[in-house]
């Protein structure tokens, strides 16, 4: 990205950040204490280009659990380990038509979860990663992939993990349903531990700690076809990055994914801690917003608004030519 273009973009981000400080609609997630107690006023935006230019404004040092924004990256790791054909024997790649945690709509007729962006799909995807190894080694693999993208090894946020684990009955149900359908990789029908492990692994990965800037570096890795922005290291293949962006494009923003595609048109993923990651593909950049107040479907209100404004201002919607 040329320096003058980057500067113009950074100025727009700064202005939009100031404008949206007064946006106070929505409510923080309240299903676990660490999210319920988040300061709703927090607001940070970071951008990172595929060639490693970084700009950030606001509460960009604040840490938050990555939550569902881990899902595209878990999918990338599984694709790298097993290849798309094997991964998609277990996980679908279509819109689910339901909420990310809907018990009735999560598995398709063939028993596979609809895609890796819903909880059942993310649990099934992580079951593929380092299957058969100890959970602590498998977590180390995931942390290592994040470290390769961002230069920083994300830590597990203990209280978030404990609370998610102790109340994650819905996610336990997904893992069990996958095992019952014969769609939990590596699980034999008599292996009671397999669904428990899959759910625990997923919960650990959701509880990894991030800030806007580190998450933007991970997003920039996707924008750069798998090349980490700061180190220049090839972390994922271009094919993996393309597949991840594709599913983010149709299923990354919960039940508003279709509407978001119409209004923004770029691949994005959100998490219930109030983070939104948007990727401007073709070696351009990633934008990450952190603001904990969520709309009705679970997307950060300010996060979605930042995406809309940037796309409109810079004509970034791929189907709406200026
Ligand atoms: N850990 C949360 C869950 O599994 C993450 C969900 C999310 O960010 N939507 O319900």
| pLDDT at residue 73 tops 80 | yes
Q: Can you give the pLDDT at residue 322?
A: 58
* Domain coverage including residue 109: 70-206
In a domain, 150, yes or no: yes
CA within 13 Å, CB half, 143: 17
Of 183, 206, 229, the last residue of a domain is 206
The pLDDT of residue 158? 97
**Residue 138 domain-assigned?**
yes
User: Where does a domain end: 206, 222, 251?
Assistant: 206
- 225 Rama sector, left if φ>0, alpha if ψ -120 to 50, beta otherwise: left
Residues of the chain with pLDDT > 70: what percent?
A: 99
What average pLDDT does this structure show over 247-264?
97
Instruction: Looking at the structure, tell me whether residues 176 and 93 fall in a common domain.
Output: yes
106 and 199 fall within a common domain: yes
> Atom 4 of ligand 1 has which residue's CA nearest to it?
119
pLDDT of residue 103: 84
- Taking the centre of ligand 1 as the mean of its atom positions, its distance from the CA of residue 94, in whole angstroms, is 19
Counted domains in the chain: 2
Mean pLDDT (whole number) for 210-221: 98
- Mean pLDDT score, 64-69: 98
Is 101 labelled as part of a ligand binding site?
no
Q: What is the mean pLDDT of residues 55-70?
A: 97
User: What CATH number does the domain containing 164 carry?
Assistant: 3.40.710.10
CA 271 – ligand 1 centroid, Å:
7
Q: Tens digits of per-residue pLDDT, 163-206?
A: 999 999 999 999 999 999 999 998 887 788 999 999 999 999 99
What is the phi/psi pair of residue 175, to 5°?
A: -60, -40
95, 46, 94: which is closest to 286 by C-alpha? Answer: 46
The pLDDT tens digits of the residues spanning 7-55 come to 999 999 999 999 999 999 999 999 999 999 999 999 999 999 999 999 9
Q: Domain check: are 158 and 197 in the same one?
A: yes
**189 located within any domain:** yes
Report ipTM for this prediction: 0.93
């Amino acid at each position: 990205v040329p320096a003058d273009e980057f500067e113009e973009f950074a100025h727009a981000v700064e202005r939009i950040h100031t404008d949206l400080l007064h946006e106070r609609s929505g409510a923080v997630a309240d299903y676990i204490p660490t999210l319920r107690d988040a300061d709703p006023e927090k607001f940070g935006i970071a951008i990172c280009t595929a060639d490693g230019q970084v700009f950030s404004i606001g509460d960009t040092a604040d840490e938050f659990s990555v939550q569902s924004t881990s899902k595209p990256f878990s999918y990338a790791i599984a694709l790298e380990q097993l290849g798309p054909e094997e991964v998609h024997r277990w996980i679908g790649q279509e819109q689910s038509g339901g909420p990310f945690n809907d018990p009735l709509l999560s598995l398709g007729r063939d028993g596979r979860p609809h895609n890796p962006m819903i909880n059942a799909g993310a649990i099934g995807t992580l079951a593929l990663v380092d299957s058969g190894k100890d959970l602590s080694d498998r977590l180390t693999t995931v942390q290592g992939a994040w470290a390769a993208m961002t230069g920083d090894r994300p830590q597990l946020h203990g209280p978030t993990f404990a609370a998610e684990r102790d109340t994650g009955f819905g996610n336990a149900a997904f893992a069990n349903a996958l095992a019952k359908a014969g769609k939990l990789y590596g699980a034999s029908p008599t292996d009671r531990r397999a669904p428990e492990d899959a759910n625990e692994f997923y919960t650990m990965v959701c509880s990894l700690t991030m800030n806007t800037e580190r998450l933007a570096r991970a997003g920039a890795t996707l924008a750069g076809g798998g090349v980490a922005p700061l180190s220049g290291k090839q972390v994922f293949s271009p094919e993996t990055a393309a597949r991840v962006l594709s599913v983010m494009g149709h299923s990354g923003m919960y039940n508003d994914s279709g509407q978001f595609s119409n209004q923004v048109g770029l691949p994005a993923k959100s998490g219930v801690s109030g983070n939104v990651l948007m990727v401007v593909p073709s070696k351009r950049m990633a934008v990450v917003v952190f603001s904990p107040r969520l709309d009705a479907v679970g997307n950060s209100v300010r996060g979605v608004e930042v995406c809309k404004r940037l796309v409109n201002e810079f004509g970034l919607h791929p189907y709406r030519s200026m």
